[in-house]
Amino acid sequence: MKATIDKELLPMKAHYFLFNAGTAPVVPFMPTLAGQLGYSPAVVGTMYMILPIIGMLAKPLFGYIADRYHRHRSLFLGGQVLTGIAFFLIMFVPGMEKPLPKVEFHCHAGVSELRFCSEYGECVERNLERYYGNRTLDCHLNCEAQPFMWDIACQDWLQNKTDNCAANRTNPQIEFGTSINMKDIEDIKDCLFFKVPRDQGQIAGQNVTLYCPADKEYFKTNCTMDCQEDYLKEQLAESAVINTSSAMSMPKFWLFFGLLIFSWIGMAVVVSIGDAICFGILGDRHHLYGKQRLCGSLGWGVFALLAGVLVDHMSLGEVDKNYTAVFWMALIIMGFDVFASSKLRHTQTHLSSNIVKDIGQMFLSLRCVIFFLWCVAIGLGTALIWNFLFIYLEQLDKAFEGCDSSIKTLEGLVMGIQCFGGELPFFFLSGWILKKIGHVNAMSMVLFGFGVRFILYSMLQNPWYILPIELMNGVTFGLFYATMASYASIVAPPGTEATMQSLVGAIFEGVGVSMGSLIGGLLFESVTARTTFEIFGIGAFIIFVIHVSIQLYLQRNSNIDENGTVKYFAPTDAMHMLNDQEYSRVS
């Protein structure tokens, strides 16, 4: 028989593809972009602790509004517009100004030079020679000074031609100018040595010879160097690191964080109401949800990979990554998503007379409470992957990559494999898997998958070896999300579909992901990244054992949940139960 295409579901498939394609170029790279803008890991961790809480508040609020006032479509489209514009405007947020480069000035036995040390020394040398060629730069140095240094400056540089020079012996700073030829740079063990011509110095407004006799104490001091060259400053200067207390007083930070908040609210509205619309269109075909959602994995995988390649390509020869292309991608693709979603035709068939009361009954069922706690546990592990996996990879990358690091390409490949090799097949098979093993066994499988995945992460040495591990994303996200969303739709009382999807999403992100971000950030600073993944892996195995034990106990004591609320059954059983409840109301 010839397969037929359900045209009613095409706009929904298009939405999942385009929405994920539009957010994939931006969302995964946002923590590293925040670090590039100058914010410390503590600031980034604080933001990503607060953002899921914002989503937790936004999802039930807008879900309730959608159900109460039947505004699913308008809120859905509005969330897409808000997300696209907020992401695009982040491109114009200025970063913290980098400090002047720090170098060491060495002068001894008639030889003067500037030394700059960095783990990227070879790369910096290549970039400077490529950019400046044979140019000579005039630079001003402000150096720490000791009394003997002033003696050398007065006696050997100025040759006592300046009155009262010796009076500066108590001055802790010495300033002078010099010239350096960018072609005359030597790289020795991750340190660059800039040769300083001895006859091209300036101090106190006079031309001097930067000569230090061999019979005097070694002249070595720390300096800041200003050559009035932005490119040189970008290559040599350390990134500004702004702590939490300082960031709070900066308008730049609030602009950046404010746009992140708006984008998070937009995504929260789109995801929760979008799933409710999808299940509304599917009707009693809940098992087909995974096949709709896999289109999102396809969009995420393609454009995350493309974004990583583009960022690396546009950043060749640069210290900082250039993210311009990804912001334009987000804006344009989200525009197409708005157009595709406007073609959706969905009307709410059930109305609830008391949404809050109906949803509140869910918390009277022990098995549903266990479901909510499971969502929290999965959120803890998901936060570590979303917010800290790429930071871990970039730490590993420093030991393996040369000058032209392809870390963003690797990160794009990671997301591509997560989607194509993991999420996509599991979303496609999720209906069959849930029918075969039920939601309870699926939940246990997800917890076990997290344990295995984190332990494998903790054993990584070469960052590229992570690629086969990412196939497990099918279990830890694909199967998880299908289980969470489908069960939430099945057990939601009629007329509360959007509210229920929003509530479950809020518990997952607002509680689980938020707590995971905080805990993960604290562990990353107190222990190594490798140890953090090991701790989370062991924790996942412990929760897996507890979950299995509790579910076995509940199965043997089936009468323990006697409140008359929704029970925790396999999908088909839950659907029959809801049908029976509907029949009893009608009769």
Measure the CA–CA gap between 353 and 523, rounded to whole angstroms. Answer: 46
Give the residue from 265, 277, 345, 313 showing the smallest Cα distance to 78: 265
Q: Tell me what pLDDT residue 545 has.
A: 93
pTM: 0.68
Strands of 185-188's sheet in order across: 185-188, 191-196, 111-117, 102-108, 219-226, 136-144, 173-181, 201-203, 206-208
Question: 105 vs 108, 136, 180, 189, 199, CA distance in Å?
Answer: 10, 18, 12, 17, 16
Give the residue from 203, 209, 212 showing the smallest Cα distance to 140: 203
Q: Tell me what pLDDT residue 155 has.
A: 83
Q: Tell me what pLDDT residue 347 has.
A: 53
Q: Which two tokens stand for residue 11?
A: 């706009």
Burial 23-45 (b: 16+ CB within 10 A, else e): bbbbbbbbbbbbbbbbbbbbbbb
Residues 434/567, Cβ–Cβ less than 8 Å: no
DSSP string, 159-185: TT-STTGGGGGG-SEEEEEEEEETT-E
Give the residue from 447, 511, 516 showing the smallest Cα distance to 479: 447
Residues 519/423, Cβ–Cβ less than 8 Å: no
Q: Tell me what pLDDT residue 277 has.
A: 78
Residues 274/78, Cβ–Cβ less than 8 Å: no
Q: Tell me what pLDDT residue 568 has.
A: 35
Within 8 A by CB and 6+ apart from 243, the residues are 40, 42, 43
Q: Which two tokens stand for residue 115?
A: 């030394």
Q: Tell me what pLDDT residue 415 has.
A: 82
Question: 106 vs 101, 124, 445, CA distance in Å?
Answer: 16, 20, 62
Amino acid in position 224: T
Within 8 A by CB and 6+ apart from 414, the residues are 389, 390, 393, 466, 467, 470
Q: Tell me what pLDDT residue 585 has.
A: 32
Within 8 A by CB and 6+ apart from 20, the residues are 296, 297, 298, 299, 300, 303
CA 96 distance to own-chain centroid: 19
Which residues of the chain are modeled with pLDDT < 70?
A: 1-6, 119-122, 160-163, 237-245, 284, 286-290, 317-319, 346-365, 398-405, 491-502, 558-587
Measure the CA–CA gap between 516 and 536, rounded to whole angstroms. Answer: 10
Residues 565/465, Cβ–Cβ less than 8 Å: no
Residues 274/565, Cβ–Cβ less than 8 Å: no
Q: Tell me what pLDDT residue 99 has.
A: 76
| CA neighbours closer than 13 Å in the CB half-sphere of residue 509 | 27
Measure the CA–CA gap between 481 and 537, rounded to whole angstroms. Answer: 20
* Per-residue 3-state assignment (H helix, E strand, C coil) for 21-83: HHHCCCHHHHHHHHHHCCECHHHHHHHHHHHHHHHHHHHHHHHHHHHHHCCHHHHHHHHHHHH
Residues 101/386, Cβ–Cβ less than 8 Å: no
Q: Which two tokens stand for residue 536?
A: 């989370």
DSSP string, 484-537: HHHHHHHHSPTT-HHHHHHHHHHIIIIIIIHHHHHHHHHHHHHS-HHHHHHHHH
Measure the CA–CA gap between 365 and 346, rounded to whole angstroms. Answer: 31
Q: Tell me what pLDDT residue 88 has.
A: 93
Q: Tell me what pLDDT residue 450 has.
A: 93
Q: Tell me what pLDDT residue 164 has.
A: 72
Residues 348/280, Cβ–Cβ less than 8 Å: yes
Measure the CA–CA gap between 370 and 570, rounded to whole angstroms. Answer: 15
